Structure 1
Amino acid sequence: MVTLMVATSTDPASINPANELLAMPGWQAGPPFQNMKCFSNEGVRVVVHSESIVKEDDLDSRWEEATGEVVDEVIFFSKHTAVSNRPALTVHPIGVPHLREGEVPPQGGKPGWAAPPSPRIGPWLRLLKKIAESHNLVPEFEITLEGTHHGPVTSKPTMFLEIGSTEDYWKRQDAAQVMALLVWEGLGLGGGAAVGTWSRENDKNRVLLGIGGGHYAPRHMDIVLKDGVWVGHLLSGYSIPMEDPVQSKEGNTKVINGTWRQAIKAAFEATRLAFPGGEIIAHLDQKSFKSWQKNAIIGFLGEQNIKVGKPNDFF
């Protein structure tokens, strides 16, 4: 079982952390893989390509087919963009579960799909905060989750590690070093125990499925920053489109159209796949919903036998 680390040479926020990681001890070239640069260190493989980071689909299955090695998880280095231009170091799951069949995803992936979220997301967010603070990047850089979004398509537990939010910050070598250290320590390459390894035997087996709120998931973040909390997919408001029932074409006020049910089901199933034996509990950003939206979502979660939790349920 190997961890696949993916970077693209076209993005400084991707290749710089990869190069910082590869400058650490123990790396060897190979194995060969589809004209990409590859490096190995214990159970970790670094793959560097020259395409868009969100468009190179199925790298996990392609790696398995080419090398015979089973991929356990996929981690991507990437840049982050934001309207605010605020410097940030982010961690997030990927997918576009709200898109309808036939829609073209603007940033990779495929409609209705969500990759299994890496169980490391919560523990690594907390580790990232610790490392960034020790390197004096906080408070200049915000350490944050992001909602589930974009591609590329993968089928193994996946997460993105991103540096934002402008070109000046993408090129910051100190940020690249922090991201490389996150991977080095998080995967136990330095000799310590790996961080965020999921096991059915975990004492705490409750997993947060975030529903609602803004892209940076502030209400969910408040919980995930607590030690011991596991987190799966995070569906921001834009990923659960709901049409106002008053404006429904059917004229039936009980019908709430939109792909919100599809998105919730896909996110739940992918999270359950990533956390075998875990209890997946939905956490709603209550204030982000109108009453009819909240009632519809809670009703649907009940139909799907998905428990709704309060913050204290995850500690």
Structure 2
Amino acid sequence: MPARPRPGSDAAVVVSRADRASEHIGERLLALGDWTDHEDADRADAAGGGTYYRTGGAELRTFDELHIRAEGLAEAFDDPDLLFVASRHSGDTGPLLTAHPTGNPGPAEFGGEAESFARAAPNALSALLSAFDEHAPEGYGVAMECTHHGPTDLDVPSLFVELGSDDEQWDDPEGASAVARAILDCRGVAPDRERQLVGFGGGHYAPRFERVVRETDWAVGHVLADWSLEDMAHPREARGVVAAAFERSAAEHALVEGDRPVLREVIDDLGYRVVSETWARETTGVPLGTVEELESALAPVDEGLRFGDPGAGYEGSSRRPNCPPSWSRRRRTSIPAPRATPSPESRSRSRRSRAGPDPSAGWRSRRGRLPTTSSRRWPTCCARSTTRSR
């Protein structure tokens, strides 16, 4: 669940005149909120000055330059806690509401600096997905994307919030209103939470990482998909890039999809921990101090340690019973604690857990259809729609 709103925190909203979907979302924002207009004579109109707008917990400014190539966007605002960039999404994905942080693990082909990242907002991304679910019009899908394109100079936690995926949707008042409402719903949402991950590998639309966001209490910051890892230098030569992905996500853990032993080694050498989706699920609700203590005393989660309902929320000392040494090496090691009679709901959850995650999870659509886009598609959100050669 997203962290609760913080009274007094402000969100900056960027609208680009070079993107008609961005302008459309801006128009819907002003129509939905109780905004007051103000004048900034110290800053050029093209750079967010001139007339700008304020409402409770948010400020909206408009820029001439295409947002992915703009620099200094946050400087136009007065110390915001969170920055949203309203944008179009381009791709062969049909009607879609999507969001992602920005950055370039490799070359900077579409704005920003090479091998650089903007500051992500993992908790706010989780909140946006929930808001998209609530407001998406009939026929629209909801997704999160991997990290791509500029700008990269944003030190304020930031996200691109997008309406896609073609002319029809960019001009759709219902789609633009849905994005606007999602932005307004996220006013005051904290950008971070205690539990945050960096994602490595997988497709552009990151279904595994979206499952983690939706089904655990872990948030996800930057996601370096398969194609961006291929663009990146060899992991041993790109230690700084890998470290920056963690720093700009405010994260200490990583989830790596696929067999990437060298990358895992580099992450470990940098002092971060690679975990599995199972680990994220099993530690949900369990204090990390308790997790660390019991993994050290008994066995890692990935070797079978399970906490069960008594472990959720427990923070304190633990005691290992006097049992045969071979027990601690078994694949499933449970916390010695009283077991309550499971409810029908918990039995249902257990059956679903044993069945494994739904491979289609991570793409929500009001029509219930799945994307036909492969992981090799690279929608640039605001520059072009192409199929990227691998």
Partner of 2:245: 267
Partner of 2:184: 184
Matches within 5 A, 1:119-198: 119-132=123-136, 135-136=137-138, 140-152=139-151, 153-187=153-187, 194-198=188-192
Q: Percent identity?
A: 25
Give yes or no for contact 1:97–1:262 (8 Å, CA) kept in 2: no
1:283 is displaced (CA, Å) by: 0.7
SS at match of 2:253: strand
1:53 is displaced (CA, Å) by: 1.6
Root mean square deviation of aligned Cα? 2.3
Matches within 5 A, 1:215-230: 215-226=204-215, 228-230=217-219
* 1:198–1:242 Cα change, 3 Å: closer
Which ranges of structure 1 fall in alignment gaps of 5 or more residues? 100-104, 188-193, 200-204, 245-255, 273-278
Amino acid in structure 2 at the alignment position of 1:113: S
Partner of 1:34: 44
Amino acid in structure 2 at the alignment position of 1:178: A
* 1:16–1:258 Cα change, 3 Å: farther
Give yes or no for contact 1:240–1:261 (8 Å, CA) kept in 2: no
1:242 is displaced (CA, Å) by: 7.3
1:114 aligned onto 2:117? yes
Give yes or no for contact 1:239–1:263 (8 Å, CA) kept in 2: no
1:240 is displaced (CA, Å) by: 1.8
Residue-by-residue CA offset, 1:55-75 (whole Å, 9 max, x unaligned) = 221111x225xxxx2222211
Amino acid in structure 1 at the alignment position of 2:247: E
- Equivalences, count: 265
Paired with 2:13 and 2:253, the residues of 1 have a C-alpha distance of: 29
* 1:146–1:242 Cα change, 3 Å: closer
1:285 to 257, 265, 268: 257
2:79 to 67, 70, 77: 70
* 1:168–1:70 Cα change, 3 Å: same
1:91 aligned onto 2:105? no
Amino acid in structure 1 at the alignment position of 2:262: A
* 1:215–1:260 Cα change, 3 Å: farther
Amino acid in structure 2 at the alignment position of 1:75: F
Which ranges of structure 2 fall in alignment gaps of 5 or more residues? 1-8, 285-390
Paired with 2:28 and 2:232, the residues of 1 have a C-alpha distance of: 47
1:257 is displaced (CA, Å) by: 6.7
Paired with 1:262 and 1:165, the residues of 2 have a C-alpha distance of: 34
Give yes or no for contact 1:79–1:165 (8 Å, CA) kept in 2: yes
Amino acid in structure 2 at the alignment position of 1:261: R
Which protein has the larger Cα radius of gyration, Structure 1 or Structure 2? 2
1:123 is displaced (CA, Å) by: 2.2
1:157 is displaced (CA, Å) by: 0.6
1:86 is displaced (CA, Å) by: 2.2
SS at match of 1:155: coil
1:22 is displaced (CA, Å) by: 0.7
1:160 is displaced (CA, Å) by: 0.4
* 1:196–1:155 Cα change, 3 Å: closer
